[in-house]
Chain A
Amino acid sequence: MKGRRDAPARIAPAARPRRGRVRPETWLAVAFIAPTILIVCGVYLYPAVATLLYSFSELEVASLRIDRFVGLEHFRGAVASEEFKAVVLRTLYFGLMVVVLTTVPAFLIALLLKERFRGRNFLRVIVLLPWALPPVVSGVLWSQMFHADFGFINGLIRTAGGEGNIIWLGDPVLALHAVIIAEVWRWIPFATLFILAGLQTIPPETYEAASVDGANAWQKFRYLTVPLMWPILLPVTIFMFVWAMKAFDTIFVLTQGGPRMGTTTLNYLVYRQSFQEFSFGQAAATAYILSLLTLLVIAVLAFLRWRARIRSGEVAS
């Protein structure tokens, strides 16, 4: 740093120590990041490694210490089990439904909120509210909505002249979809605002130019909005899928994974295997299978985004 006052100050992160000397700025950076790195190592890295060890072991129930290594037994047992296969398929179905049922309405609501109208700010607040509720609250809320005897949904059906005797949370298939609805309701705010922020980056001139060329509303939507929004939609789908894989509170409050395991996703299965059946080794193996599945789907979605980018690049050039 000596005698370099007149040169532009080196603030950019690209700066590298020269001639083997570590610059004081680097020490400062290390000191600044150290607490975060320590916490990340203690709370993420160490547990991730320990979970991996658990997944190859049998743990003593009382002391929770590793008793003996069993190799791939937990993984083999999982893959061979019909019940486990059903859980994996259910988890993927759950994720897919949450992604689709959140993204499509969110896109429509975002298109609406982009318009100027009286009460728009009020509607924006209402649309944001489900995001700010604790998931446990939305669980309680939807359990009251879906209650067979005095729930509001059966009440609506009765008002409309139907029987209104559907036991929503008593049937495995219905209950799964009830949980999906509760999760979708919770994530629509985020998806809507994310898509809305993306929509607002499309310059209005683009639409004006299209109008001059005689495009109608549908053509503008199909040939302008949708292609321009692809780069936004793919991250949204990734977020939604990740969160669907993490869904726990809503399932826990609404159905506890039942009836007949109908709402048990992989994430919930890990909880059940560890804190209800106390087979931490098996639970650790399930947790790793869930993580790999999540990363695999993200990789596929990221690949799709990459391919879309290449394709739009070709169109541009």
Chain B
Amino acid sequence: MKALRRLWVYPAALAVLVVIAFPLYGVVLTSIQREQDIRSRDVNFIPRYIELGHYQAVLDPGHIVPIREAMMNSFTVSVLTAVIAVALALPATYALYRLPLPGRSYILAGLVSIYLLPTILFVLPLYVRAAQFGLLDTFTGLVIPYVAFILPFMVWILGAFLKAIPVQIEEAAMIDGANRLQILVRVVLPLMKPGIGAGLLMGFILAWIEFLTPLLFTRELRILTVTLGLYRSTYEIEIGQLAAAAVLTALPLIVLTVVFQRAISQVITTGAER
């Protein structure tokens, strides 16, 4: 009886699956169909063949929108951003949650309120300064705003992990005669490994998806990031190629999400327990 009553979950799960996955399925489907079939009014929902020509075309070195170079640029910028953001946020978080920091609550409140305000409020003068300092179209000019836009969130993530480590462990080490630096390197850092991993992961993802910054701060193809490249593709290439470029843009993040599903779910819901 009880098993029977729970049968509702399967139709419900199927409905959720179809609604959420349908657009994703659609774009993958488009990317493996020939252009004349895509442009047909008789929309096929089930592929009769698989044609990888669009992927070949967009990955070709001479392609009008260099997606391959763009992916490499984005990879460089995202790794740099993740590493720098974690390296900055880690000591900041420790100072905020474990050290006698004057004005601590004001700093925390400031970081939260920054996150609530629209990015566009900060972008205009940044653009003006970047232009004056010659930072447009440079990796530095991208990584600085990326890191800055991610930093408040990073402190929030690392803070959640740090708060989960009992203070008593550090106190015990201190009683054993360890100084603060020793405690940091030998006790806190090893315990923070999962937090650092989560921070790097989130930093990479958030940098990879960034769009407004490259849109405003870069113009040259040399420094094209993958999201901007995809946007450029919307008016320069065929629909099938656009779909293939979209799949390629999303692919690294889809892989990361599937592999680290639990960690990501845990991190983005930090704070839901209270």
Contacts and interface: CB of A to CB of B under 8 A. Distances in A.
Contacts of A17: 100
A280 to B, nearest CB: 6
Interface centre among B98, B250, B273 (most CB of A within 10 A): B250
B78 to A, nearest CB: 11
A297 B184 CA distance: 41
Interface in B221-272: 226-228, 230-231, 234, 239, 242-243, 246, 249-250, 253-254, 256-258, 261, 264-265, 268-269, 271-272
A145 interface: yes
Interface string A189-229: 01001111110010000000000000000000000000000
Contacts of A46: 125
Contact of B205 (A15, A121, A132, A140): A132
B264 A132 contact: yes
Given A115-B9, A141-B246, A248-B212, A11 B114 contact: no
Interface string A44-77: 1011101100100000000010000000000000
A123 B10 CA distance: 11
Interface stretch (A24-32, A81-89, A169-177): A24-32
A298 B151 contact: no
Contact of A132 (B13, B180, B254): B254
Interface of B: 6, 9-10, 12-13, 16-17, 20-24, 26-27, 30, 38-43, 45, 88-89, 91-92, 94-102, 104, 107, 110-111, 114-126, 128, 131-132, 144-145, 147-149, 151-152, 155, 167, 170-171, 174-175, 180, 205, 208-209, 211-212, 215-216, 226-228, 230-231, 234, 239, 242-243, 246, 249-250, 253-254, 256-258, 261, 264-265, 268-269, 271-273
A53 B147 CA distance: 25
Interface in A90-125: 109, 112, 115, 117, 119-121, 123-125
A141 B13 contact: no
Given A132-B253, A145-B26, A152-B43, A123 B13 contact: yes
A8 B168 CA distance: 10
Given A28-B99, A36-B88, A291 B121 contact: yes
A9 B99 contact: no
Given A11-B167, A33-B91, A50-B125, A40 B9 contact: no
A36 B261 CA distance: 29
A40 B216 CA distance: 20
Secondary structure at chain A's binding surface: helix, strand, loop or mixed?
Answer: helix
A26 B102 contact: yes
B95 A32 contact: yes
A152 B216 contact: no
Contact of A198 (B121, B123, B227, B273): B273
A13 B124 contact: no
B28 to A, nearest CB: 10
Interface of A: 5, 8-17, 23, 25-26, 28-33, 35-37, 39-40, 42-44, 46-48, 50-51, 54, 64, 109, 112, 115, 117, 119-121, 123-138, 140-145, 149-152, 154-156, 158-159, 185, 188, 190, 193-198, 201, 232, 235, 242, 245-246, 248-249, 252-253, 267, 270-271, 274-275, 280, 283-284, 287-288, 290-291, 294-295, 298
A17 B101 CA distance: 10
B20 A185 contact: yes
